[in-house]
Amino acid sequence: MIGVGILGSGFIAETYADSLLDVRNAELVACYSRGFERATAFARKWGPKVSAHKDMDALCADPAVNLVVIALPNEIHLEAVRIAASHGKAVICTKPLARTEREAREILEIVRRAGVWHGYAESAVFSPNIEKAYQMVKAGGIGDLLTMRAREAHSGPHAPHFWNAELAGGGALLDMGCHTVESARHFFGKDNPVTEVMAWGATMVHGDKTTGEDTAIALLKFAGGQLATIESSWIEKGGMQLRHELVGSAGRIVTDTSVGPVWGFVEKPVGYLVEKADAETGWVYPVPEETRAYGFSQQMRHFCDHFAAGTVPSETFEDGVIVNRIIDACYRSMRTGVWEKIGADG
């Protein structure tokens, strides 16, 4: 069994712990939180074999831990990777890899120097809906893929640290656009780089909470002539929106992860419905098995299988660097109002 240690105890850490229940060759053995009481509560919830640690170094030094999963705020990723690599531990880092391309490159260099296995936890490309659409595109079902429109929207982040744009590195585009940028690379091919971008962003609703953009749109041009439109929003009420529209020369495909097989009108609250539901009564659209519907279980199985085999996963820190590079260019375009070029390896 692969012993997994999770750094963090918030929403995404809970999701990763849940996803490990679907992995036959790995188990959660250790956790850390910036508050030790939260770490002990997390350990109690997820099993008798889970040890709570008071600091990141102690978790990474734990001999029971083979694989470290970073589920911490953006500004802690660099330090966490450095500590994990110093103990020779394989490491998975949640999205975005870093706040900027420069920081992402530093993270990548750390794991390369240490010679440790690494995976970039971009769940979007592992969701069942996206995987099915990807198979259909690769089978030629819609001819040549020409354009993609991807939208992720909700009413705002879970944790307060996301609202601190200076500390987190950005607003809605960095928080959510990293998903759709990578899904665009996934569909159009990683050997078909983004060459230039145009972006717009504004703080339209949450000016009392953040100096970062709560709404953003970006256009990504690919070397092969294709175009992706990326929409990211923290101002949309009514729960999570996760939608892809793929247009080809011989058809189109639409995925909508936020629309599930259950919906209804309720006058009384019935408990948890879906991430960022906004309302507990009226028309509700719960998403059953969110961890699986959003691709977290499939992602964790993929990573653990590749780690066990000593092979390279489909999402690595190299991909995280490129995503940060593209988003950096989008932020430049927001400031300049013009198309911004990206290097040939972007």
pLDDT tens digits along 227-252 = 999 999 999 988 888 999 999 999 99
The full DSSP string for 316-333 is: -HHHHHHHHHHHHHHHHH
Measured CA to CA, the distance from residue 110 to residue 104 in angstroms comes to 10
Q: Token digits for 261?
A: 């097989």
What local confidence, expressed as pLDDT, does residue 344 receive? 59
What local confidence, expressed as pLDDT, does residue 345 receive? 56
Measured CA to CA, the distance from residue 244 to residue 260 in angstroms comes to 15
pTM: 0.95
Q: Give the right CATH number for 125-296+324-341 from 3.30.360.10, 3.30.420.40, 3.40.50.720, 3.40.50.150.
A: 3.30.360.10
Measured CA to CA, the distance from residue 333 to residue 310 in angstroms comes to 40
**What b-and-e string marks burial along 278-289, b requiring 16 or more CB atoms within 10 Å of the CB?**
eeeeeebbbbee
List where CATH 3.30.360.10 sits in the chain: 125-296+324-341
**Short-list 246, 242, 271, 238, CA closest to 258:** 242
List where CATH 3.40.50.720 sits in the chain: 2-122
Q: Please check whether the domain covering 2-122 is classified as CATH 3.40.50.720.
A: yes
Q: Residue 269 class from Cβ within 10 Å (0-12 exposed, 13-18 middle, 19+ buried)?
A: exposed
Low-confidence ranges of the chain (pLDDT < 50): 346
Tell me the torsion sign for CA atoms 123, 334, 277, 129: negative
Residue partners of 96: CB distance under 8 A and separation at least 6: 74, 104, 169, 174, 175, 178, 320, 323, 324, 327
What local confidence, expressed as pLDDT, does residue 285 receive? 81
How is residue 125 annotated by DSSP?
G
Residue partners of 309: CB distance under 8 A and separation at least 6: none
Cis status, amide bond into 160, omega within 30 of 0: no
Measured CA to CA, the distance from residue 202 to residue 189 in angstroms comes to 30
| Residue-wise pLDDT tens digits, 173-223 | 999 999 999 999 999 999 999 999 999 999 999 999 999 999 999 999 999
Measured CA to CA, the distance from residue 339 to residue 323 in angstroms comes to 17
Calculate Rg over the CA atoms of the chain.
20
